[in-house]
């Protein structure tokens, strides 16, 4: 229960809380009328959300429905997961704002009745799939041979990932919603108001498509394919349409019971109306589609949901990610190299900016997440002049559904990566041996996040860092500075593990050698000793790796040893 947080949620500036306040304002507009609407708005504006909900029970009379959509035509990717994750953080912000006085539902909806338009590039048995082109995805054979249909396979992959990460959601299948009659009443209204829907849709289409467009896509009784054909006749009383089947025969079919599906914009509007959707976000590329679907939703007697438009995701080549192409990261790939928490953190940040979904973003996301978790758990300043900090504005509150862990990791992900490199580590036990030099009481049992990070670091280093390493020899100034640093480190007390003291000596050696800015000095250390241009705080690295080992690394570099060979 997210209780006792309404005042913080009311004042929080993070984007999910802005969305939550917009959603609450929508409830007031939709569920109240007359003076009650103004009174409730006035109470909420002053932060008295609880009083407004108590005074106007109609606001909480029905659940607030959040929805996310998933196109089942390809394997799930992080872009798909993103919609559930981001919608969940808005849902939790709304729960905090209303202190769970309003029930909420999150529907994960699969568009699995769509016809298969093209064969994805990243699946086996593509020839078999080609034979099923045009059929609803729930009637297309599973190319992997594991499920009854391609849609069932992709739906299972999606649900398994959401389940592993503890999302609270209800899964709905488009095929089931049409076939079981859940959409029947709204489909009949669509048939009755056919001309009004056409008046919205036709101006958005080109001349050729406009000539044959119908919001209803009948399923051919002879071929089983979803047909893009005009509606020739309509019988509102009977609830049927007439179309020309693929064999040329005029065929009458009901618009109910799964005999037809809707074109996707009318389908979106139908879904909003039939399910009573209150909130759904969408990508920036769908802004105009949202507007069109909202107009149709109003025609059908519904109220368009509150929404939010996020920027698109790009792959390593700055191309839009696509399920059918399989570019960008898969859900499983991020899980191999980074903590799920870091993924949700990455998705949380700057949703209105385009974001790359490639392997190189994982280390930075991991360390930023750890920094934010440390900040959340850090005691507030006792200085009364300090500006109060709203804990709900820290991303980790949203990442962890309002219950962040009490501790993070004493070692950063980037430091672990460099420790793997310098120590030639091949398993977690080697890393833990070095970690315990700096943190003798740390163990997998009491530092579970750190233990997971060591596994991620081993995988990431082996697959991405090692192949990209490029060691170089130091120039004369760098060599002199490294010799000076070596002398300074030798002068430290034996068994010294104070990271700050070591860092001070590194600074001193760089300044003495005239490096300006000092960043050039650290870049030289990383490139010569670790074979890369960036690295962690050097003092922290040396403290964990050990002074003798760090000095030996520098000595080998000065002696011209092949450090890549030493690592291998």
Q: pLDDT digits over 255-298, tens only?
A: 999 999 999 999 999 999 999 999 999 999 999 999 999 999 99
- Rounded to the nearest integer, the mean pLDDT of the chain is 91
For residue 213, give the 3-state DSSP assignment.
coil
Taking the C-alpha atoms of residue 223 and residue 415, their distance in angstroms, rounded to an integer, is 59
Residue 283 lies in a domain: no
From the list 363, 367, 507, the residue with the least C-alpha distance to 421 is 363
Let me know how long the chain is.
568
Which one-letter DSSP state was computed for residue 464?
A: I
Give me the phi and psi of 76, to 5 degrees please.
-60, 145
Question: Quick one: 431 and 500 in the same domain?
Answer: yes
Residue 66 lies in a domain: no
Going by their DSSP bridges, the two strands 260-262 and 216-218 should be labelled as antiparallel
Give me the phi and psi of 61, to 5 degrees please.
-70, -25
From the list 80, 7, 87, the residue with the least C-alpha distance to 44 is 7
For 80-87, what is the mean pLDDT? 89
Residue 20 lies in a domain: no
Q: What is the pLDDT of residue 72?
A: 85
Question: Quick one: 471 and 550 in the same domain?
Answer: yes
Query: String of b and e for 457-474 (b: at least 16 CB within 10 Å)?
Result: bbebbeeebeeeeebeeb
Q: Where does the pLDDT of residue 160 fall: very low under 50, low under 70, confident under 90, or very high at 90 and above?
A: confident
State the CATH number of the domain containing residue 229. 2.30.30
Taking the C-alpha atoms of residue 21 and residue 306, their distance in angstroms, rounded to an integer, is 11
Residue 371: domain span? 317-385
Give me the phi and psi of 511, to 5 degrees please.
-65, -40
Give me the phi and psi of 360, to 5 degrees please.
-75, -10
Question: Quick one: 357 and 433 in the same domain?
Answer: no
Q: Under a CB-based contact definition with an 8 Å cutoff, are residues 106 and 66 in contact?
A: yes
Query: String of b and e for 132-166 (b: at least 16 CB within 10 Å)?
Result: bebbbbbbbbbbeeeeebbbbbbbebbbebbeebe
Contacts of 26 (CB under 8 A, 6+ apart): 278, 305, 306
Q: What is the pLDDT of residue 379?
A: 78
Q: What is the pLDDT of residue 564?
A: 59
Residue 171 has pLDDT above 90, yes or no: yes
For 187-206, what is the mean pLDDT? 98
From the list 413, 158, 393, 200, the residue with the least C-alpha distance to 296 is 200
Q: What is the pLDDT of residue 325?
A: 62
**CA dihedral defined by 42, 47, 51, 55, rounded to 10 degrees?**
30
For residue 67, give the 3-state DSSP assignment.
strand
Q: What is the pLDDT of residue 568?
A: 36
Residue owning tokens 């041996």: 433
Question: Quick one: 420 and 376 in the same domain?
Answer: no
Question: Quick one: 446 and 552 in the same domain?
Answer: yes
Q: What is the pLDDT of residue 123?
A: 87
Neighbours of 487 (CB within 10 A): 12
Residue 150 lies in a domain: no
- How do residues 366-376 score in pLDDT, each as one tens digit? 999 999 999 99
For 29-52, what is the mean pLDDT? 96
Q: Is 206 exposed, middle or buried (0-12, 13-18, 19+ CB in 10 A)?
A: exposed
For 6-28, what is the mean pLDDT? 97
Residue 323 has pLDDT above 50, yes or no: yes
Q: What is the pLDDT of residue 567?
A: 44
For 410-417, what is the mean pLDDT? 94
Taking the C-alpha atoms of residue 141 and residue 139, their distance in angstroms, rounded to an integer, is 6
Give me the phi and psi of 331, to 5 degrees please.
-60, -40
Question: Quick one: 479 and 562 in the same domain?
Answer: yes
Q: What is the pLDDT of residue 361?
A: 93
Residue 420 lies in a domain: yes
Q: Under a CB-based contact definition with an 8 Å cutoff, are residues 272 and 278 in contact?
A: no
H/E element holding 494? none
Q: Under a CB-based contact definition with an 8 Å cutoff, are residues 255 and 216 in contact?
A: yes
**CA dihedral defined by 550, 487, 476, 514, rounded to 10 degrees?**
100
Taking the C-alpha atoms of residue 29 and residue 26, their distance in angstroms, rounded to an integer, is 5
Residue 167 lies in a domain: no
**CA dihedral defined by 479, 480, 486, 492, rounded to 10 degrees?**
-150
From the list 121, 110, 178, 107, the residue with the least C-alpha distance to 149 is 110
Question: Quick one: 212 and 249 in the same domain?
Answer: yes
Question: Quick one: 436 and 557 in the same domain?
Answer: yes
Question: Quick one: 432 and 558 in the same domain?
Answer: yes
Taking the C-alpha atoms of residue 132 and residue 294, their distance in angstroms, rounded to an integer, is 33
Taking the C-alpha atoms of residue 264 and residue 114, their distance in angstroms, rounded to an integer, is 9
Residue 356 lies in a domain: yes
Question: Quick one: 322 and 367 in the same domain?
Answer: yes
Q: Where does the pLDDT of residue 423 fall: very low under 50, low under 70, confident under 90, or very high at 90 and above?
A: confident
Q: How many folded domains does the chain comprise?
A: 3
Residue 354 lies in a domain: yes
Which one-letter DSSP state was computed for residue 285?
A: G
Question: Quick one: 438 and 553 in the same domain?
Answer: yes
Q: Where does the pLDDT of residue 327 fall: very low under 50, low under 70, confident under 90, or very high at 90 and above?
A: low
Helix then strand then coil, % of the chain, to nearest 5: 55, 10, 40
Q: Where does the pLDDT of residue 480 fall: very low under 50, low under 70, confident under 90, or very high at 90 and above?
A: very high
Domain finish residue from 262, 289, 306: 262
- How do residues 61-79 score in pLDDT, each as one tens digit? 999 999 999 888 876 677 7
Model confidence, pTM: 0.88
For residue 408, give the 3-state DSSP assignment.
coil
Q: Under a CB-based contact definition with an 8 Å cutoff, are residues 93 and 398 in contact?
A: yes
Q: Where does the pLDDT of residue 566 fall: very low under 50, low under 70, confident under 90, or very high at 90 and above?
A: very low
Question: Quick one: 451 and 549 in the same domain?
Answer: yes
């Amino acid at each position: 229960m997210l209780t006792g947080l309404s005042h913080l949620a009311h004042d929080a500036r993070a984007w999910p809380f802005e969305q939550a306040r917009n959603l609450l304002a929508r409830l007031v507009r939709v569920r109240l009328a007359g003076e009650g609407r103004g009174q409730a708005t006035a109470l909420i504006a002053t932060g008295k959300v609880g009083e407004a909900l108590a005074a106007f029970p109609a606001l909480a009379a029905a659940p607030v429905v959040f929805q996310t959509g998933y196109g089942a035509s390809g394997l799930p990717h992080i872009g798909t997961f993103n919609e559930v994750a981001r919608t969940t953080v808005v849902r939790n912000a709304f729960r905090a704002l209303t202190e769970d006085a309003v029930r909420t539902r999150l529907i994960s909806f699969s568009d699995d009745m769509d016809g298969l338009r093209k064969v994805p590039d990243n699946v086996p048995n593509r020839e078999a799939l080609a034979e099923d082109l045009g059929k609803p995805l729930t009637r297309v054979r599973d190319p992997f041979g594991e499920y009854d249909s391609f849609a069932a396979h992709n739906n299972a992959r999606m649900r398994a990932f959401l389940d592993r990460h503890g999302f609270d959601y209800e899964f709905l299948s488009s095929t089931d919603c049409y076939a079981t009659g859940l959409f029947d009443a709204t489909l009949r209204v669509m048939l009755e108001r056919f001309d009004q829907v056409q008046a919205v849709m036709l101006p958005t289409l080109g001349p050729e498509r406009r000539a044959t467009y119908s919001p209803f896509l009948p399923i051919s009784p002879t071929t089983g394919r979803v047909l893009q054909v005009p509606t020739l006749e309509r019988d509102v009383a009977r609830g049927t349409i007439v179309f020309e089947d693929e064999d040329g025969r005029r065929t009458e079919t009901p618009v109910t019971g799964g005999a037809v599906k809707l074109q996707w914009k009318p389908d979106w509007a139908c879904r909003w109306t039939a399910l009573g959707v209150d909130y759904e976000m969408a990508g920036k590329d769908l802004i105009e589609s949202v507007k069109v679907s909202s107009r149709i939703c109003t025609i059908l007697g519904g109220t368009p949901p509150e929404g939010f438009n996020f920027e698109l995701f790009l792959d390593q080549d700055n191309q839009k990610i696509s399920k059918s192409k399989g570019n960008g990261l898969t859900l499983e790939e991020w899980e191999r190299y980074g903590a799920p928490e870091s993924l949700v953190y990455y998705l949380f940040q700057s949703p209105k900016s385009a974001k790359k979904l490639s392997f190189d973003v994982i280390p930075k996301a991991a360390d930023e997440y750890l920094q934010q978790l440390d900040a959340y758990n850090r005691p507030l300043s006792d200085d009364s002049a300090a500006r109060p900090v709203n804990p709900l504005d820290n991303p980790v509150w949203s990442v962890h559904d309002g219950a962040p862990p009490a501790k993070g990791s004493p070692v950063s992900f980037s430091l672990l990566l460099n420790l793997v490199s310098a120590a030639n580590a091949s398993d977690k036990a080697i890393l833990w041996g070095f970690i315990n030099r700096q943190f003798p009481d740390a163990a997998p049992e009491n530092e579970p996040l750190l233990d997971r990070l060591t596994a991620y670091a081993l995988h990431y280093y082996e697959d991405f860092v090692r192949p990209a390493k490029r060691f170089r020899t130091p120039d004369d100034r760098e060599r002199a500075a490294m010799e000076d640093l070596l002398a300074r480190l030798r002068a430290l007390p034996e068994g010294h593990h104070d990271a700050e003291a070591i860092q001070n000596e590194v600074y001193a050696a760089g300044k003495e050698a005239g490096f300006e800015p000092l960043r050039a000095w650290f870049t030289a250390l990383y490139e010569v000793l670790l074979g890369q241009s960036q690295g962690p705080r050097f003092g922290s690295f040396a403290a964990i790796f050990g002074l003798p080992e760090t000095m030996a690394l520098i000595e080998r570099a000065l002696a011209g040893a092949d450090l890549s060979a030493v690592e291998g």
